[in-house]
C-alpha cells in the first residue's frame, strides 16, 4: 500500500528533522543539562546550592568535548577542576553544556571553593 503524497512528504520531513539531533551530546548523558536541543544549545545548571551557599574565593573548570558522540576527550570531573584551581574544599558546582548540531559538544564542570 502506497502512502498518499502528502503523508509521504510529512514522513520524509519528520525523518530529516530527526536526523538533525546528532550524536555528540550523547557522550554526556546523565548530567544535569538544561535545554539539550538538536540545533544549538549553550546552557548551564547549578548543583549543591541554597540560600546559604557561599561560592568561595577560588573557581576551577574542567571540560570534556565530543565529536559526533564517537570521540570524547577531556576531564570534566569536579576533582580535576578543583585540582586546577588548588581548591581543597568544594562549596558549589555548576555545569555548562554546549552542543552544535550534534556534531560538536562540550561539557564543563565549574567548581567553587577554598
Evaluated on CA atoms 47, 50, 51, 53, the torsion sign reads negative
Digitized pLDDT (tens) for each residue of the chain, 114 residues in all: 455 666 767 766 655 555 555 555 555 555 555 555 567 777 777 776 656 667 788 999 999 999 987 889 999 999 999 999 999 988 888 889 888 887 898 999 999 998
Q: 3-class DSSP state for residue 86?
A: coil
pLDDT on residue 92: 86
| Burial class for 25, CB neighbours closer than 10 Å (0-12, 13-18, 19+) | buried
Q: Where are the domains of the chain?
A: 21-113
DSSP code of 34? S
For residues 102 and 67, the answer to whether their CB atoms sit within 8 Å is no
Amino acid at each position: 500500500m502506497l502512502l498518499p503524497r502528502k503523508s509521504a512528504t510529512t514522513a520524509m520531513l519528520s525523518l530529516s528533522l530527526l536526523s538533525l539531533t546528532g550524536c555528540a551530546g550523547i557522550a554526556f548523558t546523565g548530567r544535569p543539562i538544561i535545554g539539550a536541543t538538536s540545533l544549538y544549545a549553550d546552557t548551564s545548571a547549578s548543583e549543591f546550592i541554597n540560600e546559604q551557599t557561599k561560592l568561595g574565593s577560588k573557581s576551577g573548570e574542567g571540560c570534556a568535548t565530543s565529536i559526533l558522540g564517537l570521540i570524547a576527550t577531556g576531564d570534566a570531573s569536579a576533582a580535576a577542576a578543583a585540582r586546577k584551581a588548588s581548591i581543597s574544599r568544594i562549596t558549589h558546582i555548576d555545569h555548562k553544556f554546549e552542543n552544535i548540531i550534534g556534531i560538536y559538544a562540550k561539557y564543563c564542570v565549574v567548581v567553587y571553593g577554598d
